[in-house]
Structure 1
Amino acid sequence: MHRRARAGRRHVTRWRSRSPWLGAGAVRPPTIYDVAAAAEVSPSTVSRAFSRPGRVSAETASRIHRIAAELGYRANALTGVSARERTSAVAMVVPDVTNPVYFGLIHGFEAAATKAGYTVVLADTRWSMRQERTVLDRILPAVDGLVVTGSRLSDRGMRAAAGHRALVMLNRIVPGTRTVLVDTAAGVDAALRHLVGLGHRSVTYVAGPPASWADGMRWRSLLDAAPRFGLRISRIGPYPPTMAGGTAAVDGLLRDLPSAVLVFNDLVAIGILHGAKQAGIGVPDEMSVVGFGNVVGADFCTPPLTTVGTPMRAMGTAAFEQLQRAMSGDPMDTHAVVSLTARLMVRGSTGAARRRRTRPAVDGIRPAGPPRGSRTMAAESS
């Protein structure tokens, strides 16, 4: 018994050094044969311990499950096939399935995959790096390929995952993987051109999560574009990518109320609209607000939200097309990056820059001003 335990620990130590998430040299995930060797049983006994535990003694089953967990082995319960077999399943991994920005993305991907004969697995990482690792560990053996958006893992970690299955990244470039992204620079240009046309001379960027690749791209695009438009820029944040995050951002904006804000995403922008109303800040009378995403409901806000619209359904379709190329082994030098056009949707949350009225603050809250009706303007192309 002790000899078996020591053997198991030796195998565990060796496999930990090969983990695709923890170090270099990862060549493959542990297999049923590695678990069998570490537990000093046959592969068929390992298989029974997972599929028919009643046919294995409690002591043996416990030892097998413990060693399997330490090795990082996961039985492919979804398909019952080995890592090398085709599953006719593909996965989409998103950071928050309740975020409306992903509705069109999921729809486009699912429609294209289903038409091609694939089953779609949808996974939610809850904006957690640890949860994302767990999700990838579980689904990599169960699918032929996957699309990942909003990843918190390093480039090295994503390349390790791509070494096991066909992988496509969304709105993030990872060398060695395929990518579908939105032309952020063009979207930011369209937003700034619109604001300058309304007389604004300064813009504050309300930042999203610090680990977000898209947040970094939007900020860098703003830094690059601002001098061309003669704009002063500043930044507050980071804030969670939620409506609650936007409401919290209003406290930061109140310290020096900007003429206009460009916001990480529409949910944060909608939260700012709500918080501004509670604080008595007129939008767009005193502050113009521009979001990113054109999510469902952005045009039903009060006032309706001006936003850099991203073609999410088209992105989902393009993501599956990229994944098909990866699964079929097409060379990476063809169509490695697909860029989609962003469009500025001009609505009622932006207006002419006006001289700010000075009103006393009471306990950090500005007294409410007169209500303003919402208005919708014609959409403007980037």
Structure 2
Amino acid sequence: MAPTLTDVAKRANVALSTASRAFSDPDRLGPDTLRKILTVAQELGYSPAPRAVEPAADPALATIGVVVPDIANPVFSAFVKAAQGQGWHSRHTVVLADSDFDPGREREVIRHLRDRVDGLAVCSSRLDADEILGLCGRVPVVLVNREAAGADCIVADATEGLRQTVDYLTALGHRRIAYVQGSARSWSNTHRVEVIEALAREYEIDLEMLGWQTETVAGGTAAAARVVASGASAVIAHNDLVALGLMTGARALGVRVPGDLSVVGMDDIPFAAVSEPGLTSIAVPLARAGELAVELLGRAVTGDRQTPRTLRLPTHLVVRTSTGPLGARPLAGIREMA
């Protein structure tokens, strides 16, 4: 079996991303580190996969790959549409791949695209950042909703949106709040858990941290009984699809939204405004992230590669009718039944 970049990184005792930069952007490494990696690569007989097409000097010829976990989720559809729009404006060709939340498929997709595109935008990956950078090799990459040192990253910072949410819910009298997590592999979920746990301590509220769910309507419906059993009077869901499923599941259990249970989602997808009741949601500017990702990659493929940085996009609360004051009817009886 031919040696891989992972083999080189292990033998040289460096991170996979560091080994990748030895071949993709050696000027960022110190001379000793670069020499060690190249020496190990030579000893192992490793050579990076050649690109099928050299990066285009003319931005009109640049092709940019966009990888998302689920194109059926409206928030990722918005990301892709914005990326396509920016590509059209900048005369780039944008191609799309859907990994279906499958890390194995995501690896295959990146391997397939890296020799066919001039830049890659990888959104809400289920892979470790170092592995993504290693897979991309020489190809410029922007990580979206995944933060990593030494890479261009665009993240939706949930801090302000969650702070507004907790402040709003506590003002309505809610002191026991549940959070329904998304995927264990999701950087966004990890970030949101850290923020809401800190806010729970700051606001001195009881926080019920519920386990991971598939980030779909069905996942939210499945979590409804656990939310009700927790005794929480309000719940924040990892995303709007989960929140919509929670409302459906709660109604099936005889729980009124928002009379017995206030529900908050995250993403502010179009369905949030037309659901019944209207879903209170934290707006996440993923469309803006799509524009920025293509803009950054457009600069990189024409040689304008700057020091890697992380761009943080703010979030904010959008209040609708799925939230209301703490209800008069307690959930204790329902919790005993569940």
TM-score range, shorter chain: 0.7 to 0.9
* 1:118 aligned to which of 83, 92, 95: 92
Q: Counterparts of 1:310 and 1:260 in 2: how far apart (Å)?
A: 20
Aligned residue number for residue 324 of structure 1: 298
Q: In the superposition, relative to structure 1, how do residues 98 and 358 fare at CA in structure 2: closer, same or farther (>3 Å)?
A: closer
1:142 aligns with 2:116: yes
* 1:350 is the counterpart of 2:320: no
Report the counterpart of residue 190 of structure 2 in structure 1: 216
Contact 1:20-1:160 at 8 Å conserved across structures? no
Matches within 5 A, 1:47-196: 82-86=52-56, 88-196=62-170
* 3-state SS, counterpart of residue 322 of structure 1: helix
Partner of 2:231: 257
Q: 1:358 and 1:181, CA in 2 relative to 1: closer, same or farther beyond 3 A?
A: closer
Is 2:309 the counterpart of 1:339? Answer: no
RMSD (Å), alpha carbons: 2.7
Q: Report the residue type matching 2:319 in the other structure.
A: V
Amino acid at match of 1:82: A
Q: CA deviation at 1:359?
A: 7.8
Q: 1:169 to 1:20 in 2, by over 3 A?
A: farther
Q: Distance in 1 between matches of 2:121 and 2:88?
A: 15
Deviations 1:274-315 (A, max 9, x none): 111111111111111111000121111111100001122222
What residue in structure 2 maps to residue 46 of structure 1? none
3-state secondary structure, aligned to 1:121: strand
Which residue identity lines up with residue 54 of structure 2 in the other structure?
R
CA distance in 2, matches of 1:185, 1:235: 17
Aligned-residue offset at 1:193: 1.1
- Say if 2:237 and 2:243, in contact at 8 Å, map to a contact too: yes
CA distance in 1, matches of 2:173, 2:331: 20
**TM-score, normalised with respect to structure 1:** 0.73
Q: CA 1:328–1:226 in structure 2 vs 1: closer, same or farther (change >3 Å)? A: farther
1:246 matches 2:220: yes
Unaligned runs of 5+ residues in structure 2 are 11-15, 25-45
SS of structure 2 residue aligned to 1:135: helix
In the TM superposition, residue 327 of structure 1 has moved relative to its aligned partner by 2.5
| Secondary structure, aligned partner of 2:120 | strand
Q: What is the number of equivalent residue pairs in this alignment?
A: 305
The 3-state SS of whatever aligns with 1:303 is coil
Is the CA contact (8 Å cut-off) linking 1:226 and 1:232 kept in structure 2? yes
Distance 1:16 1:190, change over 3 A: same
Aligned partners of 1:21 and 1:190: how far apart in 2? 47
Call closer, same or farther: CA 1:329–1:355 in 2, change over 3 Å: farther
Report SS of the residue matched to 2:126. coil
Q: Match for 1:180: what amino acid?
A: I
Answer whether contact 2:231 2:331 (CA < 8 A) is retained.
no
**Cα drift, residue 227 of structure 1:** 2.3
> Does the Cα contact within 8 Å between 1:93 and 1:123 map onto a contact in 2?
yes
- Aligned residue number for residue 197 of structure 1: 171
Counterpart Cα distance in 1 of 2:5 and 2:331? 62
Q: With CA pairs under 8 Å and 6+ residues apart, which has the higher RCO, 1 or 2?
A: 2
CA distance in 2, matches of 1:204, 1:359: 15
- Name the amino acid aligned to 1:340: L
Q: Which moved more, 1:264-273 or 1:219-228?
A: 219-228
**2-structure distance, mates of 1:234, 1:82:** 51
Residue 206 of structure 1: CA displacement?
0.4
**TM-fit CA distance, 1:358:** 5.5
Name the SS of the counterpart of 2:270 in structure 1: coil
Query: What is the TM-score with the length of structure 2 in the denominator?
Result: 0.82
Counterparts of 1:196 and 1:162 in 2: how far apart (Å)? 45
Please list every run of 5 or more consecutive structure 1 residues that lacks an aligned counterpart in the other structure.
1-12, 30-70, 76-80, 366-382
Query: What amino acid maps onto 1:297 in structure 2?
Result: F
* SS class of match (2:179): strand
CA distance in 2, matches of 1:330, 1:224: 39
2:147 maps to a residue whose letter is I
Distance 1:363 1:244, change over 3 A: farther
